[in-house]
Amino acid sequence: MAALDPSVTVAVVGAGAMGQGIAQVAAQAGHPVLLVDSRPGAAEAAVDSIAKALTALVEKGKRTAVERDAIVGRLRAVDGLPDLAPAGLVVEAIVEDPDVKRRLFAELEGIVGEGAILATNTSSLSVTAIGAGVRRPERLAGLHFFNPAPLMALVEIVSGLATDAAVLDTLADTARAWGKSPVRCRSTPGFIVNRVARPFYAEGLRLVQEQAADPATIDAVAREAGGFRMGPFELMDLIGHDVNFAVTRSVHAAYFGDPRFQPSLIQQELVEAGRLGRKTGRGFYDHGPGAPKPVPHSAEPAPRPESVIMQGDLGPAASLAGLLRAAGIAVEEAPGPGVLVVDGVTLALTDGRTATARAAEDGIAPLVLFDLALDYAKATRVALAPADGTPADAVAAAAGLFQALGKAVSVIDDAPGLVVMRTVAMLANEAADAAMQGVASAADIDTAMTRGVNYPLGPLAWADRIGLPHVLGVLDALARTYGEDRYRASALLRRKISGGNRFHG
């Protein structure tokens, strides 16, 4: 089946922010749109809000007045569900309560035609369970938009156990015709994005809990070295801790307490205190008027090295050799385990072990580990972690090397995997497990994470770039350090390595 013809009427049930956004997207694509809400006047207010948003675009030159009028002309607020009879597609965007959704769809079945598609915009509830309440569950699927729907490209097309393949094809083609990037997934807890993204928050929260660094420093490293648009703490403040914590608890419970999704006591305390982030003026950060901007920890300027010894292949950090030479630092190449030596101090890319354990196991002292960067040439900050007992002048020598490359340096406590490396390894691991379990394809998982939450690379593509053996080594080291099943490596990751394969290509 092809995309729905623009002449097909689309109905949206629920005129909140998400329902309003979906209605706007459908109307912009040329469909007549019926909007209904159980709250008196809410649908009319939503149409007015869409008109105002489009007027603002006209004033900015991004839309013409003719386009605005045509879009608004296709929107109609109606009084009740019986008015939705002409719809060929009904999208539900109401409260996240499975019983309420089941009752709604059971009622809609008696109103719309036999050929109409029923879609739920649920972000995490089981599409299969919702479909169990209708007579023909084969025509019900998930159509999960991301907020704000007019701006966010991603749409998750979610299949319940009974969903007809032709319905999924039509929804995917329709979403594409609406200018969106559809990805397909099975109805499993969290679908793609809300499942795979959990480690982004969880590892940051654990680093703070272990006092490895403060939130502002972790956020800065994630942005300036990892290339993420926002760090985990500023993103949680933006989302709202009540929402983020509830999703984590939901996914954790749905997977029967799997420790990979264990909620954080720190976040729970913020929720209990009513510090929900931007919407309450306080979360990890103070968002009140005139509040100072969070400042990450940065090392004091240190002496610039004249030369460095590069022993062996630096692997994911191989580009550092060219950057050092371009900065006028002499690089002497020698065989070895893939480390840099400056003024007698060994610098090594983290492999998941703590610097203290690695120094003892490999017989290296003094040792300072450095973190992964998405692109060392573009990174403006790098995190370092010295082994316990490392002299201050050795830490300064390590900092001076990266400062000579124009990077700010954040020295954190000796946390295994540091910040970016452990986060990316855990994201890739969760993505690999989702692929192995048939939740979605590797390509759709990476698309979902880049288009849905703006990651700089899909987790599986990032793992390919780092090298799957290095990612596995980091995960295994984390598992040994913590002794927790939370860090168990995906069987698919191990299989890819054994077969000499990658996730892409």
Q: So which residues are the catalytic ones?
A: 123, 144, 156, 194
Closest CA to 387 of 410, 360, 362: 360
| Spatial strand order in the sheet of 381-386 | 330-334, 307-311, 339-342, 345-349, 367-370, 381-386, 408-411
CA distance 144 to 155: 5
| Spatial strand order in the sheet of 117-120 | 75-77, 33-36, 10-13, 89-92, 117-120, 140-145, 154-159, 181-186
CA distance 120 to 127: 8
Q: Beta strands 117-120 and 408-411: pairing type?
A: unpaired
As to burial, measured by CB atoms within 10 angstroms (0-12 exposed, 13-18 middle, 19+ buried), residue 65 is exposed
8 Å CB contact between 123 and 194: yes
Residue 11, strand partner residues? 34, 90
DSSP of 327-372, one letter per residue? TT-EEEEE-SSSEEEETTEEEEE--SS-HHHHHHHHT-SSEEEE--
Closest CA to 32 of 68, 5, 64, 1: 5
CA distance 277 to 330: 47
